[in-house]
Amino acid sequence: MANPEKSAAVAEITAEFRDSTAAVLTEYRGLTVAQITELRRSLGEKTKYTVVKNTLTKIAAERAGVTGLDDLLVGPTGVAFVGGDPVEAAKVLREFARANQALIVKGGFVEGKAMSADDIRKLADLESREVLLAKLAGAMNGSLAKAVGLFAAPLSQAARLAEALRAKREAEGTAEASAQPEPAVAAE
């Protein structure tokens, strides 16, 4: 019969895997309790950092349908279960690891896809979702402005052509009028 405490822990970790958009596995050997607490605070409310047992985490990941983490579950492991933007969590972990050399990012998964430590670093190098959306909106706005210009170009060209023709006719009319002699006044 399975130990009820371990069964409950597996169920909790399984639920975390299912509810998270991403999870980043780290090695925390050498960090103090105060440093881990600081890391938890810096990750924010949408990301939960938990110290886990590797065997229970393997079982939970398998139950949640997450694959590719078995090789990462070696040594003391902490998992950051990300509920919000994975890029922001990866950036926080990278910055914390720079300040605290004891934290080592092992890898993780994002939206069901296993990622190596290098992939997590690349993810941290991305700009946040909001910045990327703003850039996309700017690019789309620029494209729309170009389209408006392209659609308006034939109309403005036609208007300039009509104005040029009018000006030419006026100039020709003025030239014709000055070229014709004025009627002579009858001599008396």
Mean model confidence pLDDT for the chain: 82
Specify the pTM.
0.65
Classify 151 in phi/psi space as left (phi over 0), alpha (psi -120 to 50) or beta: alpha
**Domain covering 4-126: architecture:** 2-Layer Sandwich (3.30)
C-alpha span between 93 and 179 (Å, rounded): 87
Tell me, rounded to whole angstroms, the distance of Cα 16 from its chain centroid. 23
Q: Indicate the pLDDT class of residue 123, thresholds 50, 70 and 90.
A: confident
CA–CA distance from 157 to each of 10, 146, 149, 152, 164 (Å)? Answer: 71, 16, 12, 9, 10
The residue ranges of every structural domain in the chain are 4-126, 127-175
For residue 95, the 8-state DSSP code is H
Per DSSP, the three-state class of 45 is coil
What number of helices (H) and strands (E) belong to the chain?
Answer: 6, 5
39-59 pLDDT per residue, tens = 899 888 888 998 889 899 899
